[in-house]
Chain A
Amino acid sequence: MIFLKSSISTRWFWAPSAAPSSAAVSLPDSCEEELLIRPLHSGDIYASFQFRTLWDTDFLHQGKKVSHYRLFPKSLGQVLSKFSVRELHISFTQGYWRTMQWGQPIVPSPPGAELWVWFHNTVADVDGNWKELTNVLSGIFCASLNFIDSTNTVQPSASFKPLGLGNATDHRFLRYATLPREIVCTENLTPWKKLLPCGSKAGLAVLMKSEKLFHSSFHSQAVHIRPVCKDWQCSSTAWELRQTLNVVFDLYTSGQGKKEWSLFKMFSRTLTEACPLASSSKVYVDVTDNPEGELFDLSPATSVLNTAVVLGDRRTYSVYDLTQKETFGQLRSLNLVLRWKGESDMLRPLLHAERYVAGFGLQTGEIHTLIYNNHPYRAFPVLLLDSVPWYLRLYIHTLTVTSKTRENKPSYIHYQPSKDRLRPHLLEMLVQLPPHSVTEVTVQFERALLKWTEYTPDPNHGFYVGSSVISALVPSVVAMDTNNTQERPLFSSFFPTKEESSYFVRVYTEPLLVNLPTPDFSMPYNVICLTCTVVAVGYGSFYNLLTRTFQVEEPSQPLAKRLANVIRRIRGVPLL
């Protein structure tokens, strides 16, 4: 698999700062911060923060204990060395990325929490380490990651390859888990902000006011740790900590329906300085669709433009360097303002997917996954990863893959059946998507009846099934463009270059909410009440009967009889 590519396609982003400044050479660690603002065609606005800390140290070196931390957060460093983690990716997302309206995200993530970890291949007890690691991370990020156990952990064989250095292919050292129900809020944001070198005191992080970040359509925060090359010769490795935060602000709820955005409107803050610890601090605004300023006005204007191929598309960015004094102008603050002037149509994303449960009733159902290939002429393969909890019993013989009403035989299927209360189903498939088609993957399932203690506190809400993950190398839009010869010399465009011909994309479908047959939990309560009443009444009367002594009471004679007896006694007649 060549999914390692993903890092390359996004590598450009840090390219300008790859050559370390003279000050950073002497220090073993450095950090950079960036904010990308992309106006979306729906009128919404996408803001993506990226913070990167590089440190050339070796956490995993035996016997050598790293104890001096400068920029790299100590809490994470200790976790890395204690659990021999080689690569760690964790994301917390609130909301679903609307691919059809917003295009591809810079960093994809599924709704809820997602955690995947590659352990070092010296680890003997991977499951034990994983269990402890999730509990520790749960504490660090204030999240319910401690609910990750064997019933929702899988070991994907092909979908998740290491993004950093190393050629690990043994998926025994990989663990992947999602918690689709995890709700992300300020209590997760605060610990995340504390990992930043400047905290939220200076630099781009001052924009992260939680009341604004959570007044949005989409919120996703992530931490990625991986080993990378220290220099171009790759003679030694460095650890890279990358923190990302992606927010989409809604036109109607945040923007009051006006297509006018500013930093102040989005974050209720403006930028006044760069993070003093950062070697580079930049704001990028995507102006690709706006070469002549016909779509929107951007102020203050900047002459620094940067062109790069990101996610298969050639994009142009206005760059604001926060380390330069002149960026802030007279007012000593930078408040970017974007005013939309025209309407434009969005390019349909080449790959997107959706998923739903079909059928009705509480016995069986069918999971449908639709994968759309919108490329007009090229077919490409995708890897589909499905992890379904055990209480949906998949009938794998009913698995069908159809594209254009014909059966589409997957070239690779990895299926691991579930074990009740132990592990989930894992289904991985390599499917070739024909050009301009919808591929439908369906599989039927039966809903299991849980034991009554296994129901969640709110069982009638339903049970979540995590997102499917679709990983693909998608043919690039740049390669589709046949009229790009104005920009490039003719000799450069005969054979499509490798980097630009396709790019790595990971698409997550929506999670599913499935109702299981649920007993009426008020019934035990009724039973308890009824039993108590019966016992009280029964016990009370029995106790009464058993402890009471019964005596025959002599009825007193009526007055008339007594009078008669007196008279009889006088007369000497026998008494009555």
Chain B
Amino acid sequence: MGLLSDPNRRKALTSLLTRLNTPIWGMPVEWLVKTMQARGLEVFTQSFTRTLPFPDENKERYMVRGTNIYGILRAPRAPRTEALVLSAPCSPDNSNNQAVGLLLGLAQYFRSQIYWAKDIIFLVNEHDLIGMQAWLEGYHHTNITGMDYTPLQGRAGSIQAALSLELSSDVITSLDLVLEGLNGQLPNLDLANLFHAFCQKIGVLCTIQGKLQRGDWDTAEGYTHAVQTMMLMVLKQASGRPWGDHGLFLRYHIEAASVRGINSFRQYKTDATTIGRLLEGMFRKLNNLLERLHQSYFFYLMPSLTHFVSIGYYMPAFGLLATILLLRALDLWVQLGTPAQVTEDGAGEVEPPSSPGVLSVLTPVVISHLTGVALYTLPVLSQETAVEHFPVSETEAVVLTAIAIYTAGLALPHNTHRFISGEGTEQGWRVLKLVALLYLAVLLGCTALINFSLGFILAITLVPAAACVTPHMPKALTALAMVLLSPGCTLLYCVFIFQELQEAPVTLPEGWMLFLSVISQGILDHSLYGSLVYPLLALLIYPCWLLLWNILFWK
């Protein structure tokens, strides 16, 4: 592969990098368009605007206005039916200029080759994920999240695979592969294998989750290292957010991954040429694909780049947890004696003939779901009111409202009892628990099928509580245990564990601030990209937990 082997091309790349490194305000749209055109691409732009529901304090943006630029390399003698995408986010702080420069260099080199069978789209997206969302929605002519964008002028058929390039530092020591996408979706494992194979071939240090692979698998340290890497992947996947620009492609059934240059292993150094060769190799492999990547796994966890845990291994673990719920439900049903009309759809349509009526079961179900709806809608809706009355910013208002509603839900048993006329009976709480158990089992089962990590983490914390809780336990102690095992606290632990695993431990106050920002990011991910974790937690998991809370305080 002769990329940048001749001095002219290398000089051109150097001049590009210098040009991009000069301080500029915003993205140099016109310059990029002209440069891409000079390289023989068909260049198009797309502008978009998006107003966030509340300001994003992590990235400091609220009203986002940007432009995506993309150039299409038309493959010779190809009928515009298939395409590959190479994208590089371009931000105003010039942090990813290396990637944009490399992208342009690659475009120039790719253009003079005859072997392309698929069109290649070189995309420079502004405002990272928001720009990518706008471009993908424009390309597929959908609008899921209410973005304003101009329609695309040029297309290249169905996109087969995509790579996103992020080189944030000047010195690159290794390349990190990011796989976790929106809602915990993963690209086909073959894409990871392809990346690893080429890293091996070219001799580039490659990592996953920023962690190098260790040679010693059988030792305790090696094993711990692999488990840590895998736990990082579980936590990232469970968060349901796209961890790179590739994450949004997965919705459209496009296999995509982010390649991120990192600077953490001082003794190694990788130059842009090597990364270019790596990308060239990967693109030539993808170009030769007859079918989409589909032969390998879509559900896997990776303890290292060379090993994976397939769905056949991890699903039984979850299955055993879910069985506890079902066995417990069976036990309760038998205890309830003869009534056989208990419907098992868990939506609260339970008619136990011997219990004190539908009302005593239906009321907590309805009220806890209403609390869930409040938790889902109120934080964003009431931010202005909150800002007026309290000395907080909009973001803080949203997050604190969410926490307040979450905490207020704990007072639910008192409110519920006000609606129930008579005393709760033994039968009553049993029916309610049966409903709650089946409901939780269905919920967790569905979640684990879509996003295993999320389902598993929720199962670990909710199943013990769900299995044990009765009104006859010591109230204070059990209540404490249940609060500690509630979804909100689970999120808090996950934040700490994640920081610990990333070898960036935080103190308690820092962790708390991180926790708040994670909540705001979750809400933003939902409204910007359609991530389902926040609605799942607020509308389904939290009400389900409230049902269990109700049982504890059953009178």
Closest chain A residue to B116 by CB distance? A253
Q: Are B113 and A216 in contact (CB under 8 A)?
A: no
Q: State whether A253 and B81 are in contact (beta carbons under 8 Å apart), knowing that A101-B42, A460-B294 are contacts in the complex.
A: no
**Inter-chain contacts of A522 with B (CB < 8 A):** 295
A437-468 Cβ-contact flags toward B at 8 Å (1 or 0) = 00000000000000000000011111010000
The answer, among A96, A250, A252, A368, for a CB contact under 8 Å with B78, is A96
Interface check A39, CB cutoff 8 A: no
A360-379 Cβ-contact flags toward B at 8 Å (1 or 0) = 11100010100000000000
**Inter-chain contacts of A359 with B (CB < 8 A):** 140-142
Q: State whether A354 and B155 are in contact (beta carbons under 8 Å apart), knowing that A253-B114, A360-B140, A515-B253 are contacts in the complex.
A: yes
**Inter-chain contacts of B76 with A (CB < 8 A):** 95, 216-218, 250, 253
**Inter-chain contacts of A459 with B (CB < 8 A):** 291
Q: State whether A256 and B112 are in contact (beta carbons under 8 Å apart), knowing that A510-B81, A512-B157 are contacts in the complex.
A: yes
Closest chain A residue to B292 by CB distance? A460
Interface check B79, CB cutoff 8 A: yes
Interface check B77, CB cutoff 8 A: yes
Interface check B274, CB cutoff 8 A: no
Size of B's binding interface in residues, CB under 8 A: 28
B46-84 Cβ-contact flags toward A at 8 Å (1 or 0) = 000000000000000000000000000010111111100
**Inter-chain contacts of A513 with B (CB < 8 A):** 81-82, 157-158
Interchain CA distance A362-B51 in the complex, whole Å: 31
Closest chain B residue to A257 by CB distance? B112
A330-373 Cβ-contact flags toward B at 8 Å (1 or 0) = 00000000000000000000000010111111100010100000
Scan residues 148-173 of chain B and give those whose CB is less than 8 A from a CB of chain A. Answer: 155, 157-158
B105-132 Cβ-contact flags toward A at 8 Å (1 or 0) = 0000001111000000000000000000
Interface check A251, CB cutoff 8 A: yes
Interchain CA distance A514-B292 in the complex, whole Å: 12
Q: State whether A510 and B42 are in contact (beta carbons under 8 Å apart), knowing that A98-B74, A217-B74 are contacts in the complex.
A: no
A219 to chain B, nearest CB (A): 6
Q: State whether A357 and B158 are in contact (beta carbons under 8 Å apart), knowing that A101-B42, A253-B113, A460-B292 are contacts in the complex.
A: yes
Scan residues 450-499 of chain A and give those whose CB is less than 8 A from a CB of chain B. Answer: 458-462, 464
Interchain CA distance A366-B111 in the complex, whole Å: 32
Interface check A389, CB cutoff 8 A: no
Interface check A312, CB cutoff 8 A: no
The answer, among A95, A100, A253, A515, for a CB contact under 8 Å with B79, is A95
B342 to chain A, nearest CB (A): 34
Q: Which of A96, A214, A219, A251 has most chain B Cβ within 10 Å?
A: A96
Interface check B11, CB cutoff 8 A: no
**Inter-chain contacts of A518 with B (CB < 8 A):** 294
Q: Are A458 and B40 in contact (CB under 8 A)?
A: no
Scan residues 389-432 of chain B and give those whose CB is less than 8 A from a CB of chain A. Answer: none
**Inter-chain contacts of B81 with A (CB < 8 A):** 462, 464, 510-513
Interface check A94, CB cutoff 8 A: yes
Closest chain B residue to A185 by CB distance? B77
Interchain CA distance A360-B252 in the complex, whole Å: 5
Interface check A424, CB cutoff 8 A: no
**Inter-chain contacts of A180 with B (CB < 8 A):** 79
Q: State whether A515 and B140 are in contact (beta carbons under 8 Å apart), knowing that A95-B76, A256-B112 are contacts in the complex.
A: no
B69 to chain A, nearest CB (A): 18
Interface check B475, CB cutoff 8 A: no
Interchain CA distance A354-B74 in the complex, whole Å: 15
Q: Are A96 and B79 in contact (CB under 8 A)?
A: yes
Interface check A193, CB cutoff 8 A: no
Interface check A209, CB cutoff 8 A: no
**Inter-chain contacts of B140 with A (CB < 8 A):** 358-360
B385 to chain A, nearest CB (A): 37
Interchain CA distance A357-B291 in the complex, whole Å: 18
Size of A's binding interface in residues, CB under 8 A: 45
Interface check B269, CB cutoff 8 A: no
Closest chain A residue to B108 by CB distance? A252
**Inter-chain contacts of A215 with B (CB < 8 A):** 114
Scan residues 211-229 of chain A and give those whose CB is less than 8 A from a CB of chain B. Answer: 214-219
Interface check A112, CB cutoff 8 A: yes
Interchain CA distance A441-B42 in the complex, whole Å: 24
Q: Which of B40, B79, B157, B295 has most chain A Cβ within 10 Å?
A: B79
Interface check B290, CB cutoff 8 A: yes
Q: Are A95 and B141 in contact (CB under 8 A)?
A: no
B374 to chain A, nearest CB (A): 32
Interchain CA distance A354-B141 in the complex, whole Å: 14
A320 to chain B, nearest CB (A): 28
**Inter-chain contacts of A356 with B (CB < 8 A):** 141, 155, 157
Q: Are A510 and B79 in contact (CB under 8 A)?
A: yes
**Inter-chain contacts of B290 with A (CB < 8 A):** 458, 461
Interface check A111, CB cutoff 8 A: yes
**Inter-chain contacts of B112 with A (CB < 8 A):** 252-253, 256-257
The answer, among B42, B77, B253, B291, for a CB contact under 8 Å with A214, is B77
A186 to chain B, nearest CB (A): 13
Interchain CA distance A358-B137 in the complex, whole Å: 9
**Inter-chain contacts of A354 with B (CB < 8 A):** 155
Interchain CA distance A323-B74 in the complex, whole Å: 39
Interface check B251, CB cutoff 8 A: yes
Q: Are B141 and A358 in contact (CB under 8 A)?
A: yes
B446 to chain A, nearest CB (A): 18
Interchain CA distance A490-B79 in the complex, whole Å: 46
**Inter-chain contacts of A218 with B (CB < 8 A):** 76-77
Interchain CA distance A356-B74 in the complex, whole Å: 16
The answer, among A217, A251, A462, for a CB contact under 8 Å with B158, is A462
Interchain CA distance A359-B78 in the complex, whole Å: 23
**Inter-chain contacts of B295 with A (CB < 8 A):** 522
A149-170 Cβ-contact flags toward B at 8 Å (1 or 0) = 0000000000000000000000
What are 14 A-B contacts with C-beta separation under 8 Å? Answer: A95-B78, A96-B74, A96-B80, A98-B74, A219-B77, A252-B111, A256-B112, A356-B141, A356-B155, A360-B251, A462-B81, A510-B157, A512-B157, A512-B158
* 8 extra A-B contacts, CB within 8 A, seeds A215-B114, A462-B292: A96-B78, A96-B80, A253-B113, A356-B141, A359-B142, A361-B253, A511-B79, A512-B157
Tell me the B residues contacting A by CB distance below 8 Å. Answer: 40, 42, 74, 76-82, 111-114, 140-142, 155, 157-158, 251-253, 290-292, 294-295
Nearest 7 A-B pairs (CB), nearest first? A111-B79, A358-B141, A460-B291, A95-B77, A513-B81, A510-B80, A94-B77
